[in-house]
Amino acid sequence: MFVLFETSTGYALFKILDEGKITNPDFDLIQQLSDPNSAQRVIQLQAFSRFEDTTNALQAVESIVKSKLDNGLQKFLQKEILEKNQKITLGVGDLKLAGILKRKLGLNTIYNSSMLELMRGIRTNMISLLPNIEENEFDQMSRGLSHNFSRHKLKFSAEKVDTMIVHAVSLLDDLEKELNTYSMRAKEWYGWHFPELAKIVPDNFTYAKVITVMGMSHNAPQVDFGEILPEKVANEVKEAAQITMGTQINEEDLSNILQLCEQIVALTEYKNQLLEYLKNRMRAIAPNLTALVGELVGARLISHAGSLRSLSKYPASTIQVLGAEKALFRALRKKHDTPKYGILYQASFVGQASPKNKGKISRALAAKCALSIRVDALSNSDSNEIGNRDRLKIEEKIIELENRKMHRTSTKIETKRSNIKKYEKPEENPQNYNTQNDFAIDTKSNKNTNTNTNTNANQNDLVIDIRSNTNQAQKKMRKKKGKKNN
C-alpha cells in the first residue's frame, strides 16, 4: 500500500511497511507517528517529484485545492506505479481526487480516517522523512507558495476591483448616518445660543461652516460670510444675531461646539471626495450599469450581491426585488402581494413613472440591468453603449405607458358620449292649446268642506271605540259573576 502526499516542494509517494498494523483498529497510529524514529518504522519514502519553479508549484496547489488531477501528478503516478505494473492500493487525502484517479488512471484508491491520521503524522515528521530537503528551504518554499496562492486567489486587478466599490458604498452610508447625527446634535447644542440660525441656514454643512467662522452670535456683524452664504442670507444672519432670543454660553461650551462643527465639515468634505471616487470606480468597472441606473444605485446592487460576478448570475426577477427580501418572504408567508421593487426604487426611471406604472418600469429596468451587468462582468470592453441604448428604450417605454393611459381615458369618454342619443324633432306638430278647457277651483270652500268632513269622521271613530270598550267590560263582569255562582 502506497500513500500520496502533496508538499510545497513536490509530490511524495510513501510506502507502508506493515499494512496489517494500519488496518488493525487496536493499533495506535498516532503514537507510532509521534517522533521521526518510530515514523520511519511505519512508512518509507518510495519516490519524490520536485516542482521545477514557483509557477509550477502554484498550478499544482491550485489543482489540489480544486480536487483536480494535475498533469505533473498524472505523469508522476504513471511513471512510479503504472509503468512498473504494480497492483497496489493508493491512499489519498481527498475523496474527489480518489474518484478521479480511479476513473482516469484505473488505480485502486482508498480514503478513510486511518489515511487522514497517517497523513497528519507524515506532515509532523516531514523534514525527517524527506532527506534531500532542508528545513530552511522547506519553510521558505512554503511561505512563498502561500503568498503567491493567496495573491492568485484574490485575483487582484487594478481595473476591475469591485471589492473597493462594496467597501466604498458601505462607508458612504455610514458617513451619511454619522453626519446626520452630528448635525442634529450641533443644531440642538448651538440652538440654545442662536436658535434662529437653524431656520435661516437649513443646510447642515453650511450651518457648521457658519458656526466655525462666526463663533458667538455677537460676532456676526463683523464677520464676512461672502465665501459661505449669499449676500441676502448673510444679512438675515447678521440681523437675527442682533435680536436673538438665545441664552449666553461660555468659551468652554463654544470650544466643544466648534470641535463638533469642524468634524462635521471634515466628514462632509471626505464624503464628497468618497462619492467622487465611487463614481469614477463605477464608470471604470460597470459602465453600462452606471449609464442605466446611476452610480449609487449600481454600487448598492453590487454591494448587496457581494461582487459584480455574483450579481451577474442573478436573474432579472431577483434583481428587481433585491433589497426587499424581508418584505418578499413576509408576503409569501402571509400570502399577500409581493413587492415590486427593492433597491431599484431609488433609480430615476422608477421615480419618474406614475404610481400605476412603477411596477412595469421596475420590471423592464431589472431586465435591462441584468443584460448590462453581464456585459460589464464578462467583457473586457469599457464602452457604455449597451447601457445608453437600453436607457433610451426605458425612456420610450415610460412615454408609451403614459400615452397609453391618456389614450384609454379619452376613448372611455368618447364611448360614453356615443351612447347618448341625439335629439330628433318630431315630424307632426303638436295640437294647439285650448284655453276653454281651463277651470278655477275655489280654495276657501274646499278647505271648509275638508275640515268638516275630517272632524265628523274623527267623532264617529271615537264613538265606535267607546262602545266596543264598554261591551268588552260588560262581558268580563258577566264571566266573573258566573264563576262565583258556580
User: How many Cα atoms are found within 13 Å in the side-chain-facing hemisphere of 129?
Assistant: 32
Q: What is the predicted pLDDT for the residue at 240?
A: 92
**3-state SS, residue 336:** coil
Q: Which of 116, 62, 106 is nearest to 85 (CA)?
A: 106
Q: What is the predicted pLDDT for the residue at 444?
A: 47
Burial class of 87 by CB neighbour count within 10 A (0 to 12, 13 to 18, 19+): exposed
Q: What is the predicted pLDDT for the residue at 211?
A: 94
Find where cell 418600469 sits.
361
Q: What is the predicted pLDDT for the residue at 437?
A: 60
CA distances from 135 to 33, 218, 299, 435 (A): 19, 77, 48, 137
Q: What is the predicted pLDDT for the residue at 60?
A: 83
C-alpha cell at 184: 442634529
Per-chain mean pLDDT for the chain: 80
DSSP assignment of 441-466 equals --HHHHHHHHHHHHHHHHHHHHHHHH
Q: Which of 114, 165, 421 is nearest to 278 (CA)?
A: 165
Using one digit for the tens of pLDDT, what is the confidence trace for 325-337? 788 788 888 888 8
Number of neighbouring beta carbons within 10 Å of residue 172: 18
Residue ranges in the chain modelled with pLDDT below 70: 21-27, 85-86, 152-161, 405-467, 480-481, 483-486
Q: What is the predicted pLDDT for the residue at 49?
A: 83
R_g of the chain computed on alpha carbons: 47
**3-state SS, residue 47:** strand
C-alpha cell at 360: 412595469
Distance CA 481, CA 486 (A): 9
391's CB contacts (< 8 A; 6+ apart) are 291, 292
Q: What is the predicted pLDDT for the residue at 445?
A: 46
Residue type, 157: S
Domains in the chain and their CATH numbers?
2-154 (3.30.420.220), 164-279 (1.10.287.4070), 286-403 (1.10.246.90)
60's CB contacts (< 8 A; 6+ apart) are 6, 11, 51, 70, 72, 73
Q: What is the predicted pLDDT for the residue at 39?
A: 77
Q: What is the predicted pLDDT for the residue at 262?
A: 95
Q: Which of 268, 57, 261 is nearest to 146 (CA)?
A: 57
